[in-house]
Amino acid sequence: MRILGLDVGSTYIKVALFENERLTLLERDKTSYQPLERCLQYIHKYKPDQVVATGYGRNLINNNFSNCITLSEIKAFAMGAHFIHPKVRTILDIGGQDTKVISLDEKGKVVKFEMNDRCSAGTGRFLEIMCKALGFEIEELNQLDLDEEVKVKISSLCTVFAESEVISLIAQGVPREEILKSIYFAIVYKVVSMLKRITVTEDFIFAGGCSSNKNLKKFLENQLKIRVITLEESPFLGAIGAGIFGISQIKR
Partner 1 sequence: MGEDYIKMWENLGIDLENHDCLLKALAEFYQQIYLSQENRPEGMKYFDFVVSEAHGLRIKELLEAKQQGKKVVGVFCVYVPEEMIRAVDGICVGLCAGAQIGFEEAEKVLPKNTCDLIKAFIGFKLTQVCPYTESCDLLIGETTCDGKKKAYEILNKLTQKVYVMEVPHMKTERGKELFLKELFALKNKLEELSQQTMTLERFKEEVKVVNEKRKALMRLEKLRSYDPAPISGLDALLVNQIAFYDDPVRFTQKVNELCDELEERVKKGIGVKPKGTPRILITGCPFALPNWKLHHMIETSGAVVVGEESCIGRRYYHSLVPEDFSSIEEGIKLLAERYLKTPCACFTPNPERIEEIQNMAKELKAQGIVYYSIQFCTPYLFEAYQVESAVDLPFLRIDTNYSTEDIGQLKTRCEAFIETL
Residues forming beta bridges with residue 53, ordered by sequence position: 6, 70
Q: Please report how close the Cβ of residue 10 comes to partner 1 at its closest, in angstroms.
A: 9
Closest CA relative to residue 216, chosen from 191, 250, 245, 251? 191
Query: What are the backbone dihedrals phi and psi of residue 158, each rounded to the nearest 5 degrees, phi first?
Result: -75, 130
Judged by CB under 8 A, does residue 93 bind partner 1?
Answer: no
Q: Please report how close the Cβ of residue 9 comes to partner 1 at its closest, in angstroms.
A: 11
Please answer whether residues 63 and 15 qualify as being in contact, where contact means their C-beta atoms are separated by less than 8 angstroms: no
44-63 residues in contact with partner 1 (CB under 8 A) are 56
The correct pick among 22, 107, 118, 252 for binding partner 1 (CB under 8 A) is 118
| Closer residue to partner 1 in complex, CB, 48/108 | 108
141-200 residues in contact with partner 1 (CB under 8 A) are none
Query: Can you tell me the distance from the alpha carbon of 59 to that of 57, in angstroms, rounded to the nearest whole number?
Result: 6
Q: Please report how close the Cβ of residue 198 comes to partner 1 at its closest, in angstroms.
A: 12
Compute how many other C-beta atoms are within 10 angstroms of the C-beta atom of residue 242: 35
Judged by CB under 8 A, does residue 7 bind partner 1?
Answer: no
Judged by CB under 8 A, does residue 91 bind partner 1?
Answer: no
Peptide bond into 203 cis (omega under 30): yes
Binding interface with partner 1 (CB under 8 A): 56, 71-75, 98, 109-113, 115-118
